[in-house]
Structure 1
Amino acid sequence: MSYRLGVDVGGTFTDVVLADAVTGELVTDKVPSDAEQPARAVLHGVRRVLDRSGISPEQIEYFSHGQTFALNTVLQRSGARVGLLVTRGFPDLLSIGRLRLDDPIDLFTAERTPLVAEADVREISERVTVGGVVVRALDPDEVRRAVRELVASGVEAVAVAFLHAHLHPEHERAAASAIAEEFPELPVACSAQLWPEEKEYERATVAVLAAHVGGALGAYLAQLAGALRELGLSCPLHITKSNGGVAAVDERPGENLLAAVETLLSGPASGVAGAIRLAAAAGVHRMITMDMGGTSVDCAVVDGAIPYSTQSRIGEFPLILPSVEVSSIGAGGSSVIRVDPAGVLKVGPRSAGAWPGPACYGRGGTEPTLTDAYVVCGYLDPEDFAAGTVPIDVAAARAALEPVANRLGLGLEEAAESAVSVATAMMHAQLVPLCAQRGIDTADLVLVAYGGAGPVQAALLARALHTAEVLIPASPGTLCALGALSTELRADLVAPIGWRVADEVLARTWEELTAKARAWYLAQEHTLHPDVQLTRWADVQLDGQSFTLPVALADGVPATVAALREAFAADYRRAYAVDPGDAGIDVRTLRITLAAAGNLPLARRQTAEPAQVRPHLVVENGRVVKGEVHRRPGIAAGTEIQGPAVISAPDTTVFVPSGFRATVDGLGNLRLRGEANA
């Protein structure tokens, strides 16, 4: 028997999924994350799930994991101190950025603080024009002198970002070689090597992020790989990427730099990929994915395929590498509830974290959180939370919320329900514009909810959004780990176009990118990902404009400017409801995406345990009403449950409000529909 392991390291919990490679049957577990030593929590979770299943490490044929280590390193600015080499005359590249304010009417907007201090920037007297003419040759001795100064001042890694290097990377390569001669152990991230695309600020940011995170991520992966090998796992190790795919763990220093930027959004991305796969098996292709954990809610609007963006942000930093388009809201289960000086009830973004966590966890926390509000409202079952592994202290939850209720002049239950309503309103305010931008009516979508807290909040959000249905997977609390386990091998490659494109340039460039993509695939452990699909992309804009649209050229369509213009015109009309007419097009970048699907089957719903139903009280519309508690493992396929009800499971809890009916389908998914949609 062969098995596969998927792990997702979140801010509060580390989730582990063990899958039977033949039947798809799952064994899941959750352990508290370890912020100081994340690999320790992974190893603890893997040991637990193997021991519970009676499986030996030698039976594991595949391991993949998503992590927030790289992301947290950037957000906390806890990585390496980075020095930056730039073309002379551009020392303020990171400080100036794009001169765009996140909120133009905010009079108190904070000044941008780059990851590289002003004192750690060095100008190099080199210059190459956009056409490739060398105006000033690179002096390797000047590069070495600059790096000596930086290292002597305490710099731990170097990023190199020269003007027009995306088209002409020779000077960046020469600078890296000069540095390596004198400082062979110093990490050096060259912007054109990592992501050769125009936009100097964004390209430089990629190099700086890689230099800042690469060393720490490499040490983490080496520690994790060593611990797993010591445990007895001999299978290939994979890490999830921001583009929703996976790649083999490569511990070479240069590869760690690339992995550092490719995995910054890996956790949310693998969750979206897993949700789409499970929903598609249930016949759902248009959806809003809702991943609600302890610190945030990550949502994606899916209209038939994974949504991608090259305009993501990591805190205040832009990320131009393709990534799953996820919108984050700082309202998770551990988000702190407060009343601001104006007397307005707020939820988040500050979180109580994994430790001490919500007051109801009984770990010494005293601040009220959204989870405490769930407990007071009866949306969680204190007798069967997390399969009894986390005791719930109802009195502590009530005591934590009491000051909030007093400040608002409300009863305790009313204040708790109001906090839940605020969280719902925050999610609604984020999602409605996202759907409107795409011309999508939320009533036509299904809300796919997962994460530890998502199924608690999902029906309330669905009611506000008027979505047709809520789908809650069989194991929603560990779906990101399942996504890491079952997603595809995926690589994105890019090539800049620095002149007016011709048919032969299109064909040749895409052929070169295709060859590189196939070489990458052959270098991976690809046996379990046999089905390869290649997609050609181009970033195209109208002549004279400066905003591009990503245009895909369908299989079988010739690589010609005429075909690209036709595809661009269709996408332009779809995006702007305007016909571009005969206007000329400007092709800025060509891309190739290689995706190789895996072959892990989905398990069907097995025979249920004997049903367990108990009476329960919940708060709705400020009143305490009678409901029921059901245990999810005991609900057979086809069973219908009328709200109000609470459905407890080992990895999450589902709240079914009045007016909703829950049914179990053949895959074990819970399907919630309001009376208006029944």
Structure 2
Amino acid sequence: MVQSSPRYRLGIDVGGTFTDMLLLDETTGDLKSAKIPSTRPPEDAILAGIERFRDHDGVDPSAIGYFSHGTTLAVNTLLERNGAEVGLITTRGFRDILELRRLRLPKANDLLVPRPVPLVPRRHVAEVGGRLDAEGHETAPLDCEEIVAAARDLAAAGISTIAVAFLHAYRDDRHERQAKAWIAEALPDLYVCTSAETWPQQREYERTLISVINAYIGGRMLNYFATLARRAAELGIAARLFSTKSNGGIMSVEAAASRPVDTLLSGPASGVIGAAFIGRQIGDDHIVTLDMGGTSVDMAVIDGEVPYSNENTVGDFPVVLPAVDVSAIGAGGGSIAWIDQEGILKVGPESAGAVPGPASYGRGGTRATVTDAYVVLGICPPSGLLGGEMPIYPDKAAAAVGAIADRLGVSLREAADAILQVATANIYAGLVPQLARRGAEAADFSLLAYGAAGPTHIFMLAREIDVRRVIVPPAPGLLCALGCLVADLRADFVRSLWESASTLADERLRELYAALEAEALAWLENEKVEVSDVRVLRSVDVCYEGQSFEVNVLLADGPLDVATVVESFHAQYARIYGYADRKAPARLLEARVQIVGVTKRPELAARPEPARRGAPPPSSRRAVYEQGAAAEAQIFQRADLRPGDSFAGPAIVEQYDTTVYVPAGFTVSVDAWSNLIGERAS
């Protein structure tokens, strides 16, 4: 019998291989999960998952009162270079803005790095007259006929979307708005966006690039969101649909359709938000996240608050939009092991991907990967993954790893063990600088693992670095979907100042932030979502005169004045670099406001934690080989573990979405929320 109540919250993470779905019962706090193979178009997998909840779990789609999802469609469109044919209309004299870029080498020691290919070829860039000066004053008017003629020429060349980016539009965007209106009237079928409406920040190349990316992915995302909303409604879902953002927040799909560039880095951001939520549940706000998927390991350092960055890179392109600060290295479960010219074993960054995937998947892959090493060493269940739905072929894994073993002159198990040790060293080398950059001590932090391979590898990393403890949430392969469930509404707004503190008036500073806050509040009001609280966070980018890089300074609530801002900058600079020159003049660059509409937090079911019962009976045992020694590991099923249970390694915990490997030297207990808490044995 289909159940129409209680109401449910649905969180969805659309990945390249699987679409992960979590359904939360708001009355009981219970979770239902599903992993559906991702499809093209992506909405097919989402709807298949909803139908699965309906048919297998009796959940009427009309009982879903909250629907939030993240998708890799935008970032994959950019990375795979299969977006729309984009044209660019820009100020006369600036046709080569995308060709010139920033004259910085991505690798300082390599003079032969190939130049990235622009998203818009030069033949599709049109120059027009009209000009604003650096203060936003008009020095030459736009010509309607010239604008429309340029747009018609681009459309005749097969262009379906147009980005408009004029000089100094961050100061005043009236020329861009006028050009967009003229084009929309003459060619209503074209998708048009402007640089100022996308991100009005000084830096000509970055602002132009953001508008081009928005246009490049805009048509596809607009169609996707519209199709998803229509088909979800046909299935009976009456709830508003939300999309996650790069900054860890959510926005309505209507807003996402108009600014799809905001969703570029939403996948990694959702995972960090989910990890922070788990940390708040258990009273731990000092967490290093380890998201290990098939291709990469994403890491973030939560030091009381979720970290943010305004300098991100997607493929060949810098993206200056605020995003959760996540660092990635090529060390996932699909990372390929290889031997260099000197005979040294390396792992990654090349990945086998989902197709053909690791050799053990039986899809045609022949090169050894980290996952194949897990299989050879007995860590992965030979019965298969996803509860047996995905078969594993140990003989194919052995053949792939055997090729590495023959070249190294070692045994099969020794080669597989070496692959894992190199992968662990790669992750360690990526994590330590992240901690050092923030002045953080590893011993003050917990490691939280998620992703399909994160729990498999997390204890190997914890053995090498002195962390407080290891946390494996109940559904680590679905943590990004949990992040979609618990994210707040969040939006960022920016205005460029670029003025010396010595000449900036307090009144101008206050007026600027008042305008930004009004814009932020209007955005939140337009989203029409009930929130329990509203927070407005003000910050400013500041540098010393002559510096090329800036420091973001969070501003206190209350009235603003330039002297206080500068003193806060000196204090922040000293905290980061150990020194501040209070006599040197400061320059204020970007004024920033982030608005947070705090949504109702779901309550996950917690069970009373009884006194420690000791180790539950294992379901079986299996021989493993790791760190040069053979051992017998206890095998536990995650579904059989209860709060209060505890056991010691070597052990393996099998569950639908991942495999947890606990080597010797660690003990694991189950807390009230069914998290696995690992600590070094006394």
| Aligned twin of 1:417 | 417
- Measured in 2, the distance between the counterparts of 1:605 and 1:392 equals 35
| Aligned twin of 1:330 | 330
Check whether the contact 1:617–1:625 (CA below 8 A) recurs between aligned residues.
Answer: yes
- Measured in 2, the distance between the counterparts of 1:610 and 1:343 equals 45
- Measured in 1, the distance between the counterparts of 2:329 and 2:608 equals 36
Q: Deviations over 1:129-187 (max 9, x none)?
A: 10233232222222222222222222221112111110021221222122112211211
| Aligned twin of 2:321 | 321
Paired AA for residue 572 in structure 2:
D
Check whether the contact 1:82–1:157 (CA below 8 A) recurs between aligned residues.
Answer: yes
Paired AA for residue 652 in structure 1:
T
Paired AA for residue 410 in structure 1:
V
Q: How does 1:308-457 map to 2 (within 5 A)?
A: 308-383=308-383, 385-457=385-457
Q: Which of 493, 508, 514 is equivalent to 1:511?
A: 514
| Aligned twin of 2:568 | 567
Deviation at 1:76, TM superposition (A): 0.7
Q: Which of 29, 36, 42 is equivalent to 1:31?
A: 36
Paired AA for residue 239 in structure 1:
S
Q: Deviations over 1:372-404 (max 9, x none)?
A: 111111222223632222222222221222212
| Aligned twin of 1:615 | 621
Deviation at 1:10, TM superposition (A): 1.2
Deviation at 1:304, TM superposition (A): 0.8
Deviation at 1:605, TM superposition (A): 3.8
With over 3 angstroms needed to count, the CA separation of the structure-2 counterparts of 1:372 and 1:68, relative to structure 1, is same
Q: Deviations over 1:258-304 (max 9, x none)?
A: 1x210000011011011011112112111211111122211111211
Paired AA for residue 474 in structure 1:
P
Q: How does 1:239-250 map to 2 (within 5 A)?
A: 239-250=243-254
| Aligned twin of 1:7 | 12
- Measured in 2, the distance between the counterparts of 1:411 and 1:86 equals 62
1:69 maps to 2:70: no
Q: Give 5+ residue unaligned stretches, structure 1.
A: none
1:22 maps to 2:54: no
Q: Which of 531, 534, 539 is equivalent to 1:532?
A: 534
Paired AA for residue 11 in structure 2:
G
1:483 maps to 2:489: no
Q: Deviations over 1:93-132 (max 9, x none)?
A: 1122111111111243111221111211122223221023
| Aligned twin of 1:580 | 581
Superposition TM-score, scaled by structure 2 size: 0.94
- Measured in 1, the distance between the counterparts of 2:554 and 2:635 equals 49
Q: Which of 520, 523, 527 is equivalent to 2:523?
A: 520
Deviation at 1:498, TM superposition (A): 5.4
1:134 maps to 2:138: yes
| Aligned twin of 2:666 | 660
Deviation at 1:363, TM superposition (A): 3.6
Q: Which of 519, 542, 545 is equivalent to 1:543?
A: 545
Deviation at 1:582, TM superposition (A): 3.4
Q: Which of 40, 43, 46 is equivalent to 1:42?
A: 46
- Measured in 2, the distance between the counterparts of 1:546 and 1:400 equals 48
Q: How does 1:35-184 map to 2 (within 5 A)?
A: 36-184=40-188
Deviation at 1:479, TM superposition (A): 0.4
With over 3 angstroms needed to count, the CA separation of the structure-2 counterparts of 1:194 and 1:71, relative to structure 1, is same
Check whether the contact 1:11–1:353 (CA below 8 A) recurs between aligned residues.
Answer: no
SS of equivalent to 2:548: coil
- Measured in 2, the distance between the counterparts of 1:337 and 1:225 equals 43
Paired AA for residue 565 in structure 1:
V
- Measured in 2, the distance between the counterparts of 1:607 and 1:434 equals 35
With over 3 angstroms needed to count, the CA separation of the structure-2 counterparts of 1:605 and 1:415, relative to structure 1, is farther
Q: Deviations over 1:587-628 (max 9, x none)?
A: 222221111222211221489998543111111222322121
SS of equivalent to 1:250: helix
Deviation at 1:50, TM superposition (A): 3.4
- Measured in 1, the distance between the counterparts of 2:596 and 2:535 equals 5
Q: Which moved more, 1:336-345 or 1:199-208?
A: 336-345
SS of equivalent to 1:112: coil
SS of equivalent to 1:523: helix
- Measured in 2, the distance between the counterparts of 1:300 and 1:43 equals 31
SS of equivalent to 1:578: coil
Check whether the contact 1:248–1:525 (CA below 8 A) recurs between aligned residues.
Answer: no
| Aligned twin of 2:604 | 602
- Measured in 2, the distance between the counterparts of 1:619 and 1:274 equals 33
Check whether the contact 1:214–1:256 (CA below 8 A) recurs between aligned residues.
Answer: yes
Paired AA for residue 645 in structure 1:
A
Deviation at 1:505, TM superposition (A): 1.8
| Aligned twin of 1:467 | 467
- Measured in 1, the distance between the counterparts of 2:408 and 2:258 equals 50
Q: Deviations over 1:491-535 (max 9, x none)?
A: 1111222554322222222222222222221222422x3221111
Check whether the contact 1:33–1:41 (CA below 8 A) recurs between aligned residues.
Answer: yes
Identity %: 45
Check whether the contact 1:211–1:257 (CA below 8 A) recurs between aligned residues.
Answer: no
With over 3 angstroms needed to count, the CA separation of the structure-2 counterparts of 1:611 and 1:214, relative to structure 1, is farther
Paired AA for residue 602 in structure 2:
L
Check whether the contact 1:275–1:289 (CA below 8 A) recurs between aligned residues.
Answer: yes
Check whether the contact 2:616–2:645 (CA below 8 A) recurs between aligned residues.
Answer: no
Figure out how many residues of one structure are paired with residues of the other and give that number. Answer: 669
Paired AA for residue 567 in structure 2:
E
- Measured in 2, the distance between the counterparts of 1:479 and 1:546 equals 38
Check whether the contact 2:339–2:346 (CA below 8 A) recurs between aligned residues.
Answer: yes
SS of equivalent to 2:523: helix
- Measured in 2, the distance between the counterparts of 1:340 and 1:29 equals 40
- Measured in 2, the distance between the counterparts of 1:384 and 1:366 equals 18
Superposition TM-score, scaled by structure 1 size: 0.95
Check whether the contact 1:13–1:354 (CA below 8 A) recurs between aligned residues.
Answer: no
